[in-house]
Each structure stands twice: as C-alpha cells, then as structure tokens.
Chain A
Amino acid sequence: MKVLTSQRATLKSSLLNHIVISYQYLITMLPTQEVNTLTEMLISGYRLDGRSINEYREISFRFPQGKDPNVSGCCVVKIGATTVMAQVSVEVIEPKHFRPSQGMLFVHFDASILKLSKTLYRKQKRDDEGRRLSAVLQTLLRDSIDLDALCIVAWERVFAVRVELRALSYDGNLGDCGTLAAVAALAAFRRPDVYVDDMGKVLVDFEAKFRPRVPLGIRRTPVLVTLGLTADAKVVLVDPTAREELILTGGRVLLGLTNTSEICCLYTTGLSVPIQCSSLSRCIHLANSKAKSLVSLINWALEGLSIQREANLAAAHARSCELNNSVLTTSNAPLVLSTTTFLLDKNNQMDHETGSYREEGEILPADHNGLYSDLDNDDMDVVSSDDDDEGKDPQSLMKSHIKHRNETKLLPYGVIEVSSSSNMNDQISDKLLPNSSVNDFDEFDSINIFNANSISLNTSNQIFTEGFQQNDQIIESLYKEPIDDDDEEEDNITILNLD
C-alpha cells in the first residue's frame, strides 16, 4: 500500500505540474484511476481488450499489387490497430572492398508517426524508435538472406536489397509488426535474373524479357517478439498496446527468434528497474513458443499469396474453354490473409444462408499437417479444449444442411474452421476458395445463388446435361457482376472482352 500511495502522490503532483506548464504533456499521461485499474487488471491476469497475458492481437497480411502482380515485394501487416508497410527494392551497386562477392541489405524503418503523439522534446530531431528498430531488423534480416547469391560479377557488381518500412498507424508493438512485414515482403519479392549476352557481357534483365524473375534465397525466417515488463518484472506481457506501454514502466525486451529455437536478438530497452537472469530466461522461454506460432503464421500467409499468384497466372493464360473456371478461382482468392479469433457468438459462427463457415479474407487450408507439429504442447492443449467445447454446435448445424462428414482443422491462434466437401464442387473447379468481397451486396446475392444451386444439385441426381445448364448460369452471373462494380473487376472485363 505504501508503494501505491507514493505512486499516486507522484502522479498527482506531476499531473498538476503538467497542467501548469503545457497542455502537450497531458496526451502522454494517463489519469491516476486508469493507471490503477489497468495495473490491477494486469496483476490479476486480464487485459483491457479481453486478451490473456500471452496472446497476440489479430494479425492480417495484405500484399498490394503494382504494375506486375507477380513481382511486387510490398506487404502491409496489421496487428490490431498497428499498421506497418514494407517495400523491398533491388539495385545494382559496387561491392565493398572487404566483401567483394557478397550482396548488401539495407533496412530503414520510418517511425516518424510517433513524433506526432509523443512530443516530449520539442526540438529533438532523432527518430529514436525508428533507429532502434532499424538496428534490430538489420541484425535479424542480415543473416536470414543468402547474400552470396546476390553477386553478379565479383569486385564489380552486386545486388543491394533495400527494405523500406513505414509505420502507418501506431497502437503499440511496432517491432513485431515491422518484422512480420519485412520478412513477408522479402519472401514475396522477386529480383531480376542475370544472363550472359552474345557478346559475352553479363547483363541484368530488369524488365524480365529473357528470363522470369527469381525469388531471394531465404535461409531462415526470423521473427521478433516484444515482451513488456511491469515495474517489478513480475508480469510479462506479450504484444503490449500503446496504452499498456505507458503503464509498463519496467521496459521492453525484444527477442528475435526462429522456428528452430535460435535466438539472434536480445535487446532490452527502457528498463527502469534492472531484471534478473531468471526473469530474462523466463522471457526467452515464453517468446520461444510465440515465435514458433508466428513463423507458422508467416508460412501460412505466404502459401495464400502463392495461391493468389497461381490463380492470376491461370486467369491470364487461360484458354477460352477454361476461362470460366480460372476467373472463378481468381475472384475467390482473397487479398487479405488474416487470423481471426474464434467468436463465441453462435450467430457469427455460421452463415445460415450459405451453409458454410467463412470469415472475410480467410482461406480454407489444403494441407497443413506439417504446421501442427510446430506448435507447442501448451498451445495444442488450449486449442483442443476449445474444439471439444465449441465443436458440437456447428456440427449439429451442418448436419441439417449437408449430410457429408465435417472436418475441423486447427490453425494457429485457435482458429477453428469447418469445411464441407461435396462432389459437385470438385467438378466445377479444383480450387474453390471463399470470396473476399462479401461486403458488396450484389456479389453476395450472386454467391448465394451459386451456392444454392450447388446445394439443390446435391439432392437431385447428377446428370451430365445439368452440368451444361450450370455453366450457363455461371456465365450469366459473371455478366451481371461487372455492370455494378466496374472499378473492382477491370481484369474480368478485359478477359471477358476477349471473347
């Protein structure tokens, strides 16, 4: 109680002084009652947004496309309300004299958005958080890319990979968000290939005329886990938000880890009270399990990205008879890949009209058996218990609609998906993915019509002539779509105009 009263006294005096001096300091200060409430919640193991102590917020990946959709190395990652964009570019420069046959990697993190909200020093020009994260990411990414493969001609020309990161919005935990964006952007990036001319010159094919673009060689996938510490280092938080960072006066620990329990970054910042070795080892053990989940999440997002690219290539190079199927797969591949927590409300679990569980931007996994072995036993226990408690209700609902067996597949962070497999879906297209643009009302109706047809056809006999009628209905539904939304489906219009 003495500690609390002394803290309250100091906070009250500081509040009064801040009011006298300037109004800007009030932005960074929290009221005393809010500080006490949040402290009590954290000590008892709860958070303000309902998460547990060892839980991340919702993470979503988005890969915006440039001129050529297969080439752009851009990635936008959101963790809750924190958004970081990463852009990877490549250029040809002369190598350093002490490393004549190695490429280079430059990382720049622009966290100037923090200056708007944190104006402690009026004339402080340094971007402290951005520089700190640039140094941390440089350490992480330097050893994850095969720099020896970036050599064009030794002593003369090498590739320099430049990763530009920018914080678009801030709600705490820029480090994890930036690392996820940088790693996903580097994995999605394709560099121009090198070929030898008839005259014997070594040339770089920047415009991809002679050779397709080549992915970078990635040795390992590093991931940064940020842990926030309270003043006495008793409570360790995963993924602190901006409001919690103000309370966590114990500082932060940034741990860079990989899937195989390798650590390459142990960076403690802002420790107002020194921590012990046992607390540090506890942080490392906690971050190790979180890093494995994050690495499996990145692999899952990159797999979704490759599905998108294959669908785009199939649509671009499709024949006239295969055009309908490829257009369907292109429109069904979502642009946003995210983890969604399993909602407890039963109404949100199922779409009763369509008869299948779907979230916006979610991909039904094809084969994820290898990813489950990566998760720790603790995470698996939590996920399996959720499955036992909540798996019964969707099964009962699914039985009324579809008689086939239901498969529950486990994803990282406890996402449970119920996928239905029917024979007619296999005949229509090999890869039928849920549509990402559910918000549009007209497209939603067309999707309902399509699914209703599939459900009705399941009950009746499968006749070959009805397959032709269904194809006609698909063509009619496709012609209806571009009339309403011209901007969103320019690719479809150009493809259909070829006919």
Chain B
Amino acid sequence: MAEIFYNGRRVDGRRPNEIRRVDCQFGSGYSDGIVFLHQGNTKVIASVVGPHAPRVKGDGTPDGATITCQFTKPPFASTSGERRKLSSKDRSANDFATAIEEIFSCVIRTEKYPMSQIDIFLEVIQSDGSEFACAVNATTLALTDAGIEMDCLVSAATVGLWGSHVFADLCRFEENPRISQLTVVCLPNVHLLSGVNTEEQIGQWKSQPQILHTRLSSWLPVERLQPLITEAVKVAQTLQKEFSYWLRGRVRSGFITR
C-alpha cells in the first residue's frame, strides 16, 4: 500500500489541488440526451428521456414536471475487484437517486412543462471514487443536451481533508474513513432572487457562491469545515467552466451538421 500523501504528491501522483482528467462524450440514440462522462477512472452514463406524458395515470402534477431518477451500479463497476449483485434494495444507490431528483427539481424550470415527466437514468460503468459528484455532473450535461430548460449549470465536486491538506477530486484509495470527505453541489454566481433588491444585497449575493446540496461522510472539527466548503466550491466552479466549454462546442457542431 502506497502512502496517501508523500513529498507533495498523492497516492496517484497528483498534487493536492489537482483534479483528475475529465472527458465527455455526447451520444446519440433513442434517448433525448446521452452523455458519457469520465472523471479519471470513474465513468458514468447519463440518459435523459423527456419531457413526456407520465406513464402512470395519476403521477402528473399541474404545477410542473415530475423528475424521476434511476441510479444503477452494475456488478463489474468497482475497480477494487469486488463483485456485488445488482439489487433494488441497494441503499446508497437509492439515496443518490433521491438526492439527484431533489437537486434537479430545484434547477429545472418545471413550470414550463406541466403534467409531464422527465426521466433520468444513471449507470456507473466504472467506479473509482467520487461517484455522486460524477453522476451529478453527467446529469447536468445530459439535461442540457436534451434541451430541457434550466436556470444554470449544476456542478459537483468531492474534497477530502488529510491533516492540513485539502485533496481535490478524491480517487478510490483516498475514500476511506481516515480522510474526511465532503461532496458539494453548487451553482455559479447568479442571483436568483425575484423582486427589487438593494445594491448591498446584490453585492452580497454576487460575492458568495450558492450551495444546493452537501454531504459529509466522516468526523471533522467544526472549525475546519468552512475552508473545506470553500475549496470544494472552487473545484466545482472549475469543473463548471470546463463543462460550459464542451457545451459550446456541442452547439457549434450541431450548427455545422445542419
């Protein structure tokens, strides 16, 4: 077993503030939006179907769209070689699905699509740490590719605290109980308030990023939590700029093919 942190380098050779290589492929098929997202060795396929009429008769609401999410992790997904059976009783998968439904019901403008349903299908092809963050990022790209109207892009990042060092974008070896890891889902610096605001309020809103979802998985003193959140938000915003570049390229390639 290699050292977690030695001589300024992490177990996979990265520096503390360095994220893994992120790559994205937009697919085309029967779904309205398909994205294959790599973050290092974590690979997630996100498919979005919709908006369409609800399949069950009483499920639609007149206020807006209903968002459903299905999170699947096949037995061959883990890079540690462990094989687990795929079952509907998997606790973490259902927890992730519920959280993603809540996140995107807040971001998607559901009032544009009354009495309809938007389905999100997530499948983890390979798991090497930071699954939830990668799934949220893939869902954002897939929803944008499907043309569903959202307020802004959502980006997620996982950050770990090892002594006095903050590790960005944890891999599998760094996801252990000795490293306190925090996952943050955040939005860019866009104020969403409606109505008249004073200049002071606008200044306060613009200066601070906005957090939509957090989860912390290990014990941590309270004083160290605030810098950890700040670092996680920085990493998430870096990923978000990368995603916006890809989506612009996607738009241009769409124009060319027409």
Contacts and interface: CB of A to CB of B under 8 A. Distances in A.
A31 interface: no
B221 A277 contact: no
B211 A132 contact: no
Contacts of B204: 276
A271 B223 CA distance: 24
B186 A143 contact: no
A121 interface: yes
Interface in A235-275: 257, 261-275
A267 B216 contact: yes
Contacts of B218: 143, 264
Interface in B36-63: 56, 58-59, 61-63
Nearest to A264: B219
A485 interface: no
Interface string A115-135: 000001111001010011011
Given A122-B59, A268-B211, A278-B208, A135 B95 contact: yes
B88 to A, nearest CB: 9
B106 A273 contact: yes
Nearest to B182: A266
Q: How large is the interface on A (under 10, 10 to 19, 20 to 34, 35 or more residues)?
A: 35 or more
Contacts of B215: 265-267
B225 A263 contact: yes
B187 A266 contact: no
Q: How large is the interface on B (under 10, 10 to 19, 20 to 34, 35 or more residues)?
A: 35 or more
Contacts of B19: none
B216 A265 contact: yes
A274 B187 contact: yes
B221 A280 contact: no
A284 to B, nearest CB: 6
B62 A262 contact: no
Nearest to A126: B94
Given A121-B59, A264-B220, A267-B215, A232 B193 contact: yes
Nearest to B93: A131
Contacts of A266: 182, 214-216, 225
Given A266-B215, A266-B216, A280-B229, A274 B186 contact: yes
Classify the interface of chain A: helix, strand, loop or mixed.
Answer: mixed
B182 A261 contact: no
A297 to B, nearest CB: 20
B209 interface: yes
Interface string B102-130: 10001000000000000000000000000
B62 A14 contact: yes
A2 interface: yes
Interface string A355-391: 0000000000000000000000000000000000000
B98 A281 contact: no
B56 to A, nearest CB: 5
A17 interface: yes
Interface in B190-205: 192-195, 204-205
B214 A277 contact: no
A473 interface: no
Given A135-B92, A266-B216, A277 B222 contact: no
Given A21-B62, A263-B216, A277 B229 contact: yes
A3 interface: yes
Given A126-B94, A263-B219, A263-B225, 11 more contacts: A122-B58, A123-B56, A123-B59, A131-B98, A135-B91, A264-B217, A264-B218, A264-B219, A266-B215, A266-B225, A277-B226
15 contacts: A10-B63, A17-B63, A22-B58, A122-B56, A131-B91, A143-B218, A261-B221, A261-B222, A263-B219, A263-B225, A268-B213, A275-B211, A277-B226, A277-B233, A280-B211
